[in-house]
Every structure is written in structure tokens, then in C-alpha cells.
Structure 1
Amino acid sequence: MARLFGTDGVRGLANDELTPELALAVTASAARVLAAHDRSHRPVAVVGRDPRASGEMLESAVVAGLTSAGADVLRLGVLPTPAVAYLVADLDVDLGVMISASHNPMADNGIKLFGEGGHKLPDGIEDEIEAGLHTAATRPTGAQIGRVSDVDDALDRYVSHLVEATPASLTGLRIVVDCAHGASSIAAPEAYRKAGAEVIAVNAAPDGININDNCGSTHPESLRAAVAEYGADLGIAHDGDADRCLAVDADGELVDGDQILAVLAVGMAEAGELAGGTLVATVMSNLGLHLAMRDKNIAVRTTAVGDRYVLEELRAGGYSLGGEQSGHVVLPGYATTGDGLLTALRLMSRLGETGRSLRELAGVMRRLPQVLVNVPVTDKTTATESPTVRDAVEAVSAELGDEGRVLLRPSGTEQLVRVMVEAPLVETAQVAADRLAGVVSSVC
């Protein structure tokens, strides 16, 4: 049976795979597990959500689940995921629940859990919560049932935190922010204005249905057009729950998560803030990032794909910057999870500090063409461990040398092997990827 918790909580089609019944059961179990680990006080949880329509339904189920298990609930309303994580620590509560499916289509939804201090729950605690779904529990009654109240200043607390974490004024910068009709629609424009920028907000009118609909970090086309229309210095794109940040320079060129990491790493290294002179990235980071960091004498630690693995490495090594090409960027000195708004503010501060354009700053890294081919197989493990496949990978890697890279990895959810090749020319990468895909397909 598949594990209920994925790399980013519980997610699925709302009211089908992710039902109110499941949301109630998961959060009730979470409250019981936390109470069992610390019986010194009654558990308190904060609950936030993005604006998708099903969030209203699931919020009611989550609140019912928590209170039925004896936990008190502080409702935060519509806020970015990183705001919920921050407020777990700021309000000194035991649990944070974010109801969101991030960049997924509106019909999906999800439940993300944060433990003490705003950190993602360890796998062991998640396993205990899942096991609790199948265990009979005694429910509290009378005065032991949890109570519910609202946190009226949740947004103000989060925005103040962001502005305090911004090292340079953004005065003089004109920016366009694409809020994906999501959880950042109020928070992002307010934070950027309070930091000094002139802000034009687009796709910032959520109606519960339009979240991520041809906008935001997965669809930067409208942001490019808006940057040109308003003559902005740059554009910022968030996803539905605002844990991601991508950017567009004044010429309309996309600046992805790897390039943002490069800009921030160089700036932090110059300021003596890059712990261990090290950046943490995933195996899918562009080779251009590694080459750029090598030129700047910055080490790169690589992890499996997924921001939880980046977080684990950051905490284990005491590092101060990590992230993914998708725009999940983590700055542990200021946040316990990826925070798209914090990332944007730090990026824009770099423009203010240096007086340089985003295009100039992003030029520290040359993004190599990257080709990804998904190969259907009957057994992904057999395919990736095949000696024939290993020999083919070694041969292509030798041909590409230091200017290219090959990565094969099995899909986490499907019988697929993902073949990724980077090379100086896209044609070279495509030929190599197709060649390896053929080998993979032939063995399984």
C-alpha cells in the first residue's frame, strides 16, 4: 500500500481522493500524536489555506478534526504556506496545517503539516499519524473538546517579518508581481510596497476558481507581457501558495530558481553570510549553476529532488542557502521552509545593493540547455540498475566531458525512468537523451 504522505504532505483531487473525511481523520490523528509526545499541555494548532474553493470545505473538516481530538485551533485565513510555517514559531504553537495544492490545478488540494518551530514533520511522525488513522481513539468530551478562534493580525505579523528580513530598501524599483490568483494576492504586494518598491500586481483577484489558471510561476507568459507594458525593472512570479519564486528581467527573459540561487549565493558569500561557503541544490539543478559556483569558489551540495531533502541537508550541515530550479528557495536564517516572498525580497535587495539590473546579476550563471525524456518501462528499478544502461550512461558522459551531464532517475510515482541530459547545445543534449532513452527502453 502506498504511503499516505508524499514529499509535500497529503495531496489529491479534492472531494474525491482528498475528502473531508480524510482531512478530518488525518488532522485528528496528528493532534493525538502530538499530545502523546508531550502531555504537558493541550495542543494548539494554526490553520491556513490558499483561496481555492475546496479549501473552504477542507478548512471546516481540518478544524473539526483538530478540535475533536482536543486541540485548540487558531484560524489564519488565506495566507501563503511560508506564513503558516512562520506563525507556528511566532505564536509558539504545536502544529501548523496548510490547506493547499501549491502549483497544482484548482481541482486539487492538499494538507501540509508543520511541527514545533515551523519545521516539516519527520517521516517517523508522519508514519505515526498515518498509523493512527486505523486505530480506535477515545474522543474528549465537555470542556476537553478543542476551541476555535481567529488570528486577526496574522498577515501583519508575517509581512512585518518579511520587511525586517529585507537588507536593502527597494526604493526606485518598479516591479510587477504575478500572484497566480493565489495565497499571496494580498501579502506579496503589501510586503513589496512596505519594502519600498513601486508595485504593479497582476493575477491578484482570486475567486476560488482561477488559482494557477494560466498564470503564476508555471505560466510566466503574462508576466513577461506586463513587465514590458509597465516598463518594470523586473517581474516576480509566485505559485498558488507562494512557496516558489521565479523572476523575469526587464527584457522579458525568465530567471529560474537556479539563477536566483546563484545571485543570492554570490551576494551572501561577499557579505560573509554563506555558511561554509556552500550552496545546497538538488540533482536536477542545471550544470551551469555548478560551473558558476566553481568559478566563485562556492561549494555545492546536492540532494534528491524535493524541498524536504534540501531542508534536511541545510539543517544537517548548518548551511544558510539552498533550493530548487523550480523556485523553492530556503534561507534557514529567516524561514523554515521555501518562502517565495522572502526570496523575491532578497533578490530585489541585491539589485538595490549593487545598482545592477537583474539581467546583469543573473549573468553570473550560464544556463545550459537541459533535455528531459520520460521513458515508460515495466520495472524502473531494473532499468536504472541495468549494466547495459550504466555502460551507455558512462559512454555519453565521457563524450560530453566537463561541459555536459547525464542524470537517470526513476519516477517516484510512475513506472518511468527520467533521462536528463545537459550540453552546451540543445541539439547535442537531445541526441544524447534520445540515444539513452532508446537503451533504457530496450532493457525493460
Structure 2
Amino acid sequence: MQTKYLLLLLLPFTVTSCMKDTVKETYSFFRPVYQTKDQVKAGIKNAPSTAIEKPGKIVLKGHYLFLNDIDKGVHIIDIADPANPKKISFISIPGCVDMAINGNYLYADCYTDLVTIDITNPLQVTVKQFLNGVFPHRYYGAFFADTGLVIQKWIRVDTTVSQPYSSGSRNYFFERTGLFTLGSRGGGSASSFSGTASVAIAGSTARFGLQQNRMYTVSHDDLKVFNITKAESPAYVNKVDLVQGNIETIFPYKNNLFIGAQGGMFIYSASNPDQPSLLGQFTHVRSCDPVVADDTHAYVTLSGGTFCGGFSNQLDVVDIKNLFSPKLVKTYPLKSPKGLSKDGNTLLICDGTDGLKLFDVTDPSNVIHIKTVSGFDPHDVIAIQGYAIAVASNGIFLIDYRQPINAEIIGKIEINKN
């Protein structure tokens, strides 16, 4: 059995014993509950709607919103009535943090594997295929997973231990088997309301993107290509090394792939769909970097003061008429921007605790702030047909911006509530 090194964080409560050289310290850690891959596969099916705990990526298909609950699975939410969104089902997919939808098929990561699920009937989904080991970069905080088992859930354990007194740091490393603690080292697990749209729309923080019967996925330093001509059975085709590193997001647009990284935006041509090639790049200071684009311009949000590093918080508007030589048009200061979405000449940006900001980008060299919808801290948004879905740590918000100056929240689903 593999030994795993884990970091345990001392909680604020420390009790000094009667002996001067020892203290009693209380720790909390999570113990993983493992299942075999066969058990996991058998468990990927519809379950009754459940509380949303850690909202992640979003994909909109018709009047259904598919919301990732980080490392747990996917909630299906009916938003046919934006003022009254309803959770209708939950698909348990352990280790799921990314997804895409192609027609009636949901593609999702299940830790290191890719699972294809038939969602023709969102209330009765079926697993069609597993591609094993295509995402070897997926790992669990401080340790790499046993490739024969999958973590199905975590159980919190609180314990008190006696330790020799030390006036220095109270972060300790212990050698344990089968434990995962709060604050562990490593990357961790860490973007139509009318019901007529046949093409799914992903948020700007997505790492999965669809184009030309291909699905492209990005990790920290590579781009993977899957042939999805047979939608029910994707085939792994190729891996392209992204030497830039620190890759975060992918935004397919027409024949190109706009890849956001902590160091810049990189434009790849998919003219040869199985071998994307670099066309041009726009570099910037180190920061988090989602991107969306249209025919002539790309819109890049830079967010500093986070795990990405850097201190810049701004919108960069980039001229991409010459894809080989993108040029900065103008920079606009923001508070703490994250995901963004563009609907016609309206750009919506998730801007930290300020809320969701709407801008008129009719003239990209003179972006005009229209309205801020406040009261929440969104991290990603999808905008279409005058409505927006914004995901925040405290809820899923439905916004009516058919008249951008009068944009307002009209519906909400609470987090941690059924």
C-alpha cells in the first residue's frame, strides 16, 4: 500500500496540559471512502435533487442548466422559468470538475477517466462509455490516487493528540495511510431560456471545449484531442504539449481555440483538427485569465491577489483581426474579475464582491459601464437572449438584462439547501 504524506492544520483550539513540555492539539482531517471503478460506474445514474455544496463549472443546454458540484457530480436545473429555477435531478460522478455537452451526450471527467453519459432524458441518464486514464494529471491534493480505486466521498474526522511543545509553526507533517487533511499541499481540485437551442453553451472557465466533431481539453500543460464524430463513444486522438504552462481555460471560436493561461492568451488554429497549432499570443503579467472572443476582438479578465499570483485586476481588450499578432487595444480597471460572457454588444463580467457588471462594447476602444448587479460574488456566467446565469459561492443567480440598464436578479437557487 502506498504511503501518503499529509499536512494537518492546527485548529484555533489548543489546550495546554499540566506538563510544561506537551500540549494537546485538536486537528480535523478528511478520510477518503474508496470504491472500485466498477462500483463507481454502477453508481453513475440519476438521483433525487440534492443540496449544492461546491458549485463549479456550468453548461447550458436548452432550458436545462448543468452545474458541476466539485468532485461530486452534476446537478440538472430546469430554468424554463428563469424566475423559478428548479433542481430536478443529480448525477453522481465522483471526481468531476469539468464537462461538456454534445447533442444528447454529457462528457465529464471522473478523476483520471472520461465518462460519456446519455442525457436524452435528463431524468433517466445512462452511462455509455468510459475512457480510462486519459487525465493522468488529476490528483488529490498532496498525493496521487491509487489507480485501481476512486474516492467516492470524504468523511470528516476530528481528533485530539498530544505533541511536544514548540514555539514555532504548528503545521505538522504526519505519515499516514488513507487520510486527507484540510489545507493539504498541491494543486487540489483546484466556465437558451426558450428551450430551442440545440448547441450547449459553456461558461468561460471551462477546460473542455467542442469544435468540428472534436472535443479539446486543457490541463496545466497540455491540450488533448478527442474525436466525437460518434458522439456516444469519444476516441482519444492526440496530445499537444502547451509549453507555456499554467493553462486555465479554453474558448473555441469558429476555427480557432483561445486558451487562457496565467501568463497570457494563446491562439491555436484547429484547421487540422487533430493537430492544433499555435498562431499567435498575447502575454501579460501573471494572473488568472479567462477569455472570450468574437470576430475581431478578445476580452481577457486578469485577476491578481489569488493563487495565480500577480496584482493586476483588469479587463484587457485585444485586437485579433491579425491572429498572428494580437494587439492590446485598451485596459479597463476592475476589482477582482473572474468569468465573463458576451451577448451581442453586451459584455458581462463577474467582478468579485462588486457583483456582475454589464458593459457596452459596441466600440471596443471605448467600453462603457452600463450597470452593476450587486449582492453576490459570482465566479462564472453564461449570457444569452437577454438572460444570464451567474454562479457564486452562495447561490445560482438568474438575471434579466433584456434592458441592460435595468438588469436585475429575478431568480435564485440557494447553496447547501435542497
TM-score w.r.t. length of structure 2? 0.28
Higher strand content, 1 or 2: 2
